[in-house]
């Protein structure tokens, strides 16, 4: 067994893939690959250097050590959202493609016999598969992509460099009880904002006897803490997607 390497890991998954018939699954796979290739090129990412484990309805990618984490976190999801919006125009609802993207980082063994042994890989896949991310994407029907990042990625990349504004992320407790998984994460939905012109934000439900969180809000059953504005509004001269 070789020593592990610290890498950025990305998991991407397609909404409602299993509900498609064989023909639509085939078309969705072709479109998914093309969109990811075009999005990476536009975001300045060399996709040919990624170690990709395809999954039919998505992929797990181990990125090279020289990758720009700012480009991955700040540019990829907004570009994917725009390309999907262009692709989905005129398509029947069952043929449209909407994606969930998750980003994390950590130690990865690159010499696994059947994949990439790594807690970081397990973590990013759990984030991508979390009910909280799925619910947010379903709630925001105007969006075509939703991004979830781990606490460490949010702290190291979003907070410091703000290619996407920190106040446009919602803090969630991502949970998959049957997998014994629980982690703090941050969700961003491209092009979505709170307020009169954006999607409705439900107020927290009071559950006696425990009081509702002091600063929490519920997004379609997802409790968030802290900033709750979605979107990709320009700030400090940045504009991505």
- Radius of gyration (Cα) for the chain, nearest Å? 18
Is residue 106's pLDDT more than 90? Answer: yes
pLDDT band at 193 (very low <50, low <70, confident <90, very high): low
- Interhelix angle 22-42/76-88, rounded to 10 degrees, is 140
Query: Are 105 and 153 a contacting pair, CB within 8 Å?
Result: yes
Is residue 119's pLDDT more than 60? Answer: yes
Distance (Å, whole) CA 140 – CA 217 = 15
Confidence (pTM): 0.81
Q: Which long-range contacts (CB under 8 A, 24 or more apart) does 179-182 make?
A: 179/126, 181/126, 181/130
Each residue's pLDDT tens digit, 166-190: 999 999 999 999 999 999 999 999 8
Hey, what are 230's tokens? 């979605």
Is residue 195's pLDDT more than 90? Answer: no
In Å, how far are 31, 190, 211 from 140, measured between CA atoms? 22, 10, 28
Each residue's pLDDT tens digit, 121-139: 999 999 999 999 999 999 9
Q: What is the pLDDT of residue 205?
A: 39
Is residue 30's pLDDT more than 90? Answer: yes
As a whole number, mean pLDDT of residues 29-56 equals 97
Strands (E), 71-220: 99-108, 145-150, 170-176, 181-189, 216-219
pLDDT band at 237 (very low <50, low <70, confident <90, very high): very low
pLDDT band at 11 (very low <50, low <70, confident <90, very high): very high
3-state helix, strand, coil in the chain (%, to 5): 35, 25, 40
Q: Tell me phi and psi for residue 217, to 5 degrees.
A: -135, 160
In Å, how far are 58, 71, 168, 179, 194 from 236, measured between CA atoms? 33, 16, 14, 41, 21
- Average pLDDT over all residues of the chain: 85
Q: What is the pLDDT of residue 191?
A: 75
Is residue 215's pLDDT more than 80? Answer: no
Q: What is the pLDDT of residue 207?
A: 38
């Amino acid at each position: 067994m070789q020593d592990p390497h610290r890498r950025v890991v990305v998991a991407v998954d397609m909404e409602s893939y299993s509900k498609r018939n064989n023909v639509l699954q085939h078309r969705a796979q072709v479109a998914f690959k093309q969109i990811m290739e075009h999005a990476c090129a536009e975001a300045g990412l060399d996709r040919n250097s990624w170690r990709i484990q395809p999954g039919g309805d998505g992929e797990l990618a181990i990125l090279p050590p020289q990758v720009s984490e700012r480009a991955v976190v700040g540019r990829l999801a907004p570009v994917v959202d725009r390309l999907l919006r262009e692709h989905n125009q005129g398509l029947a609802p069952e043929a449209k493609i909407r994606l969930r993207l998750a980003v994390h980082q950590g130690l990865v063994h690159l010499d696994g016999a059947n994949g990439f042994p790594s807690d970081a890989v397990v973590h990013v896949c759990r984030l991508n598969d979390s009910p909280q991310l799925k619910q947010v994407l379903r709630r925001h029907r105007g969006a075509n992509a939703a991004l979830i990042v781990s606490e460490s990625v949010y702290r190291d990349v979003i907070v410091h460099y703000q290619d996407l504004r920190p106040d446009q992320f919602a803090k969630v407790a991502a949970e998959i009880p049957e997998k014994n998984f629980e982690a703090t994460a941050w969700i961003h939905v491209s092009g979505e904002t709170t307020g009169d012109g954006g999607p409705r934000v439900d107020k927290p439900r009071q559950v006696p006897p425990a009081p509702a969180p002091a600063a929490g809000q519920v997004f379609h059953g997802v409790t968030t803490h802290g900033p709750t504005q979605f979107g990709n509004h320009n700030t400090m001269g940045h504009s991505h997607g």
